[in-house]
């Protein structure tokens, strides 16, 4: 009797080809399972609720990690929320700390669902953050740090008007780089001082719009092999960055691909992955080329990885990014999600 044996499924989920011309080692659906080295399939680990009935209200925005803590953020017109830190994993004693910027007194924190975290970037043992109590109309820029003995977060305001409020930022070479509010330049702070965006000869800006095609603006930032990657929706500029501002220069432009979703940009294995208008792509340097180019790593699932038209969405009473991604180290994967847009597999 004829027999056919499956012993490799290493093609993974493949929706880009009709089944007739798809390799037999690929799959038409793969739900909550992953291909393992060697080609076998295994279900992913499960999401379990943090023990002890821990909850995090919709007034707290985002989830980040730094200095050995999870972080969440908010701002509102109350003097304090009364929250400092909580253990979220009894086994590892991992904690979450609360980064809060008071905008006054007299309010009720229960109403703070309209608070918005426009963006953060790591700075030493804390974050530089752009927050808003009113979904982005009023902005507050704060530099938070944590005392690892008391698990207490403190913050200082950044009052320098030259710091952009876009919230699209990365940290490199002892500086923070941020997209300007109009998306036409990249501002950078003074070396070792993210509260100073003005000192001549130290803080400054990169004139990225000089290299745009018509109508472009910057939407995202990343770091690629020590260079600053500036993403428009149609191109990627790679800038050489340096503590000395005179050492900064445009290195290369990769045309024809980009992203509008800053939170989709993730560095993994030395490459930079992002969600372009045509699916998930990777900025990589191919072994037979000296210059970086983009690779369409998302082609197998292009059928449902549509870039949402809107950069934001409404969730938990506030405004959130429509696309988020993560380098999920414990499972060695790139994750990308566009809630309420993608529902497939």
Partner 1 sequence: MFASAAFTSRPFSSGQIPARQTLLAATNGEYGWSAWTYSKTAKLNAWAWHGLGVTGTANINAWSQLGNSVYLRRDGDQSLYLMQPDVYFLASETNSESQAVYAETQWLDFGKPGDLKALTGIDFDGLNVVRVEVYVSVDGDRSGTLADTIQVGDSQGGWTYSGGILPVNAASTEFRLRFVGDPNLEVQVNRLSLYFDDLGQV
Q: Which of residues 68-97 bind partner 1 (CB under 8 A)?
A: 68-70, 88-89, 92, 94, 96
Smallest distance from partner 1 to CB 83, Å: 14
* Binding region for partner 1 (CB under 8 A) out of 132-140, 155-163, 200-208, 328-336: 328-336
Question: What's the token pair of residue 295?
Answer: 């690779």
C-beta closer to partner 1: residue 24 or 192: 24
Q: Does 327 bind partner 1 (CB under 8 A)?
A: yes
Burial of 259 (0-12, 13-18, 19+ CB in 10 A): buried
Among 75, 130, 189, 336, binds partner 1 (CB under 8 A): 336
Smallest distance from partner 1 to CB 343, Å: 4
Q: Does 111 bind partner 1 (CB under 8 A)?
A: no
Residue of 300, 340, 333, 313 whose CA lies nearest to 13: 300
* Binding region for partner 1 (CB under 8 A) out of 47-55, 102-110, 224-232, 243-251: 47-55
Smallest distance from partner 1 to CB 254, Å: 20
Total residues binding partner 1 (CB under 8 A): 97
* Binding region for partner 1 (CB under 8 A) out of 29-37, 99-107, 149-157, 239-247: 29-37
Q: Does 43 bind partner 1 (CB under 8 A)?
A: yes
Q: What is the DSSP string of 164-227?
A: -SS--EEEETTEEEEE-TTSS-EEEPBTTBTT-S--TTTSEEE-GGGGPPTT----EEEEETTE
Smallest distance from partner 1 to CB 17, Å: 9
Among 121, 145, 185, 305, binds partner 1 (CB under 8 A): 305
Give, as ranges, the residues between 248 and 267 that touch partner 1 (CB under 8 A).
none
Question: b/e per residue, 169-194, with b = 16+ CB within 10 A?
Answer: bbbbbebbbbbbeebbbbbbbbbebb
The answer to whether 101 and 142 are in contact (CB under 8 A) is: yes
C-beta closer to partner 1: residue 65 or 80: 65
- Tokens 């997209």 identify what position? 179
Residue of 191, 222, 219 whose CA lies nearest to 204: 191
**Rounded to an integer, what distance in angstroms lies between the CA atom of residue 23 and that of residue 8?**
11
* Binding region for partner 1 (CB under 8 A) out of 131-139, 197-205, 233-241, 337-345: 337-345
């Amino acid at each position: 009797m004829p027999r056919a044996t499956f012993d490799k499924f290493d093609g993974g989920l493949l929706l880009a080809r009709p089944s007739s011309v798809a390799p037999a080692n690929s799959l038409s659906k793969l739900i909550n399972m992953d291909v393992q080295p060697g080609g076998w399939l295994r279900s992913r680990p499960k999401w379990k609720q943090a023990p002890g009935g821990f909850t995090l209200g919709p007034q707290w925005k985002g989830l980040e990690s730094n200095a050995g803590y999870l972080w969440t953020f908010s701002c509102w017109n109350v003097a304090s929320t009364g929250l400092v830190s909580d253990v979220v994993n009894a086994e590892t004693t991992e904690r979450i700390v609360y980064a809060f910027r008071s905008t006054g007194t007299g309010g009720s924190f229960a109403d703070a669902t309209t608070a918005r975290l426009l963006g953060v970037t790591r700075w030493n043992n804390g974050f530089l953050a752009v927050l808003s109590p009113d979904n982005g109309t009023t902005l507050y820029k704060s530099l938070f740090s944590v005392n690892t003995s008391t698990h207490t977060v403190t913050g200082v305001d950044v009052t320098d008007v030259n710091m952009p409020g876009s919230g699209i930022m990365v940290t490199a070479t002892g500086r923070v780089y941020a997209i300007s509010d109009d998306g036409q330049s990249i501002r950078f702070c003074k070396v070792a001082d993210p509260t100073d965006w003005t000192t001549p000869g130290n803080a400054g800006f990169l004139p990225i719009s000089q290299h745009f095609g018509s109508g472009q603006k910057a939407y995202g930032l990343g770091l690629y092999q020590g260079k600053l990657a500036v993403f428009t929706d149609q191109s990627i500029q790679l800038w050489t960055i340096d503590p000395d501002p005179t050492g900064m220069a445009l290195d290369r432009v990769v045309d024809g691909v980009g992203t509008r979703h800053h939170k989709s940009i993730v560095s993994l294995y030395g490459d930079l992955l992002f969600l372009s208008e045509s699916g998930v792509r990777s900025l990589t340097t191919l072994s037979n080329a000296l210059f970086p180019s983009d690779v369409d790593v998302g082609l197998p699932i292009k059928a449902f990885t549509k870039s949402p038209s809107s950069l934001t969405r409404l969730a938990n009473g506030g405004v959130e990014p429509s696309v988020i991604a993560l380098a999920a180290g414990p499972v060695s994967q790139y994750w990308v999600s566009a809630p309420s847009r993608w529902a497939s597999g």
